[in-house]
Amino acid sequence: MNLIITSEVVKPPIDVLSVRFLTMVCQEDLNLSVLVEVLNEDKDFYYRYMKDTGLMDFVEDLIPPEYREEGIRIDSFHNYPKTIIVKRIDLENVVGVLGQVKFLASV
């Protein structure tokens, strides 16, 4: 199953450790394929930023929205089923987001 995180949620500046923790647990413990959805014109920027901060260690790929991948989504809008709505991932909400991901992965 996929975990798709939209670019709005990981747009700099972000709490890198919280996002890295979330993606690590989702990939290693929940066996989810972690994907980040970015526009094609922003792909290079996000790749460089995420590579420099260590976020690409647990992200499999950057995908454009046109792929319309199915799975659990972390987004700032509710456009798809199985969407967790947050404006950003930080120390205050990472445990709650992870709990929601675990619940949706078990459904």
Provide the whole-model pTM: 0.94
Backbone angles phi, psi at 33, to 5 degrees: -85, 115
Measured distance CA(57)–CA(97) in Å, rounded: 20
**Confidence at residue 55, expressed as pLDDT on a 0 to 100 scale:** 95
Tokens of 93: 């909400």
pLDDT tens figures, 4-33: 999 999 999 999 999 999 999 999 999 999
Element at 50 (helix H, strand E): helix 43-53
Backbone angles phi, psi at 20, to 5 degrees: -65, -40
Span 2-106 CATH architecture: 3-Layer(aba) Sandwich (3.40)
Tokens of 45: 């920027």
Q: What is the pLDDT along the chain (107 residues), one digit of tens a residue?
A: 999 999 999 999 999 999 999 999 999 999 999 999 999 999 999 999 999 999 999 999 999 999 999 999 999 999 899 999 999 999 999 999 999 999 999 98
Q: What are the DSSP calls for 1-22, one per residue? A: -EEEEETTTTPSS--HHHHHHH
